[in-house]
Amino acid sequence: MMERPICHLQSMNGELLTDIMSRVDGPALASVASTCSELRGIARDQSLWKKLCYSRWPSTALEEAEHLISGSVHGCFDKFYSDACPLVLYDEVANANSLKLLECAELNPRTSPSDLLSLIDVYYKNKCVLSRISDGIPEAVDIFKHGLGLVDSSWEMIADERQKWFLNYPFKLELMDLKDDEDDDDDDEALASPISSLNEAGKSRENLCKKLIEDLRLSWILVDKKTGKAVNLSSWKPLSVQKNWPYHATYVMQFGCVLPVEESLLPQKLARFIVTTRFKITEREECLEWREISMRIENIEGAHVNGRSSLMILNKALYSQRSTNQFKVEEGLRKYEKQKREMTRRRESREALADRLFTFINITVFVILYVALRLLV
């Protein structure tokens, strides 16, 4: 009986194996790393993962991000890829178990605005057209500097006021926010992204919106600089796009995800990250001029979450349930919208019932008073 020939990986040239590995995607490379000890070392080569990260998220090649990922004792490119590639998954059953794990997990309790780094990449037809980094939360002051004595007393009073404002007012992290005035032709500050012509979409608003939904993608990766943990807060595909009246050729597009949280944090136990992009399309439709790229957090009723709660929610997002299955992610978001509509319907029903009851009580009181006055007369 003839024995099956055994392929000895040790006999293959290491450079050849590395070259082969450099041609596969992230999930395939991760699978290879779990096959055998001979391939594990090559598949864990950080230069391969760095190349994958640079290709998928060009923002990781920017100096500050590259230094953080490669230089941190917590971080490395394969870990970053495994954190940032899957999207946050909203699934009622899976997330119920995830909440129990989060309660037991040792989260970073001292996450401050200066600990957070945002990596934003925008794509058009699978080609990256914009990459930016936002370090910290510019509107906030590091709430832990005071305990370390890093500010003098004159600045401390101003800082305290800014902290109170950030912690108690609606949270919004802005990469950019330019005033959009149709009569203002000064667009020097706007970021412009050359794109392929949109003329084939036609001039109707519906066709152009459909084209933008098909071709535009966005990634917003949040990184905790202390722990090296990362999470992608975008839905990758846009959730909605609409023309922003009355400004000519200005469109608003939203991305985001849904995260379950404890009832003590939000009574509705759900937080929604909303990434808003606002851009103008030039007359020749060959360039997108970005007017706003920002992120905020809302509860299921649509109310903005304040800075204090947002810091806790951002910290929990780093440890959230995720999936690389785009269909499951989209299905979860559809379930959330259905749940939101049902909650809105119940609230409106309660309000309508309360209005009818109030009207009935007023009429009853009026009739009683009227009858009482007639008897007295």
Spatial contact of 187 and 228, defined as CB atoms under 8 Å apart: no
Residue 362's CB is within 10 A of a number of other CB atoms, namely 10
Instruction: Specify the 3-state DSSP secondary structure of 338.
Output: helix
Residue 122's CB is within 10 A of a number of other CB atoms, namely 25
Q: What is the pLDDT of residue 37?
A: 66
Look at residues 57, 12, 266 and name the one whose alpha carbon lies nearest to residue 66.
Answer: 57
d(CA 284, CA 269): 46
d(CA 367, CA 272): 48
Q: Which secondary structure element, helix H or strand E, spans residue 250, and what is its range?
A: strand 250-260
Q: What is the pLDDT of residue 160?
A: 65
Mean pLDDT in each 10-residue stretch from start to end of the chain (377 residues)? 45 60 69 68 79 92 84 73 92 63 53 87 92 83 46 52 78 79 50 71 69 92 90 95 75 93 87 93 77 93 90 91 91 89 83 89 89 82
Q: Is the dihedral of CA 226, 228, 233, 234 positive or negative?
A: positive
Half-sphere exposure of 270 (CA within 13 A, CB side): 21
Q: What is the pLDDT of residue 253?
A: 94
Instruction: State the pTM of this model.
Output: 0.80
What is the DSSP annotation of 286-324?
A: -EEEEEEEEEEEEETTSPBPBHHHHHHHHHHHTT--EES
Spatial contact of 143 and 165, defined as CB atoms under 8 Å apart: no
Q: Which secondary structure element, helix H or strand E, spans residue 122, and what is its range?
A: strand 116-124
Residue 321's CB is within 10 A of a number of other CB atoms, namely 20
Spatial contact of 142 and 112, defined as CB atoms under 8 Å apart: yes
d(CA 123, CA 196): 12
